[in-house]
Every structure is written in C-alpha cells, then in structure tokens.
Amino acid sequence: MNEIKKYSNGDITIVWKPHVCSHSTKCWKGLVEVFDPFKRPWITPENSTTEKIINQVKQCPSGALSYLINDEER
C-alpha cells in the first residue's frame, strides 16, 4: 500500500504522498522554513502561515502535496 504522510499545525494539514513526489525541489526552494529535506520531520507547518503553505503546495509539479482544512482535501 502506498504511504500517505500528514503534517498539521492545528489549522492546515499538509498531505504528502512520497510515491508521487518527483523530488523537483520546488517546495524546499520556495518555503524552506516548512519544507526542509535535511530535517526530521521534513515538513513543519507550524513554521509558516497557512496562506504561504497553500501557495507553495499549489506549486508542487507532481501532485505529491495537497492540504486539508477541516479534514477536507483541497
């Protein structure tokens, strides 16, 4: 089964599908305070605003990133 990872700051939940990620580096070049591949966990939504996270998630070229607000996938 393909793994799905979720990272929440209590407001927004970032959903990451590792098997879909093309490692384009776009997310961590755009918002390294949230997406840092050298840290564990590598996604820390508490380090930025919901608005910035949404903007960055939308730029993921592979569709590996999405987000949930009130448990609804966007």
Residues at the site binding ligand SF4, with contacts judged by CB under 6 A = 21-27, 60-62, 64-65
Which is closer to ligand SF4, CB of 6 or CB of 23? 23
Both tokens of 2, joined, read: 């393909």
In the bound complex, what is the minimum distance in angstroms from residue 6's beta carbon to ligand SF4?
Answer: 14
Both tokens of 74, joined, read: 């966007």
DSSP 8-state secondary structure symbol assigned to residue 34: T
In the bound complex, what is the minimum distance in angstroms from residue 64's beta carbon to ligand SF4?
Answer: 4
In the bound complex, what is the minimum distance in angstroms from residue 37's beta carbon to ligand SF4?
Answer: 8
Neighbours of 8 (CB within 10 A): 14
